[in-house]
Amino acid sequence: MKGYKVLTADMKSPFDNKTEWTLGKITSIAKDKKLRIIGYGLHLYKSLKNVSIGKFGCRVFEAEIVGEYIEDKNKFCAYEIKLIKELNPEEVTDSKWVYEYCITVKDDPKVRKNITCSEYAYLYCQYIKDDPKVRKYITDSFWAYEYCITVKDDPKVRKYITNGAILSF
């Protein structure tokens, strides 16, 4: 099974700051306890949509489980995990992940260009910077409305407000 591992800048687990990881090598823990999600084991996120960066770490790796594991809706938990490759933030196209990276790690234009979802484009313009290259993706009626009332009443964004109930703001 493949998933995503979040680590600190110095390749340690953000939760215990003891477990050290090495790219291409298997990281193991003792098999003397039963695996538990949010308990005992090494954890991987199943999707980038579940990956939280910033408060937990700033490096994200594609990884695979080696051997026995358990899972829930969002995570895998195993005794052994191997880091396959580090994700380059410029290559990640999940808007939520990119927005969180920009707000918590570094607002990098090479990464920011991948914010293409209306909601995260709005959030970026609202909380980080009103950037026209990001603003052009605010095309959903609700997020266009939010932008026009909280950031700036821009005719280029206002044209996307199609819900009659909010047109009269």
Domain housing 105: 91-158
Q: What are 136-166's pLDDT values in tens digits?
A: 999 999 999 999 999 999 999 999 998 765 5
Q: What are 44-78's pLDDT values in tens digits?
A: 999 887 776 665 667 889 999 999 999 999 999 99
Is residue 3 within 8 Å of residue 76, measured between CB atoms? yes
Question: Residues 115-140, buried b or exposed e (16+ Cβ, 10 A)?
Answer: bebbbbbbbbbeeeeebeebbebbeb
Residues 154 and 77 in one domain: no
- Of 87, 111, 139, the position where a domain reaches its end is 87
| Cα(70)–Cα(87) distance, integer angstroms | 24
Residues 43 and 73 in one domain: yes
Q: What percent of the chain has pLDDT over 90?
A: 67
Answer yes or no: is pLDDT of 167 > 60.
no
Q: How confident is the model at residue 39 (pLDDT cuts 50, 70, 90)?
A: confident
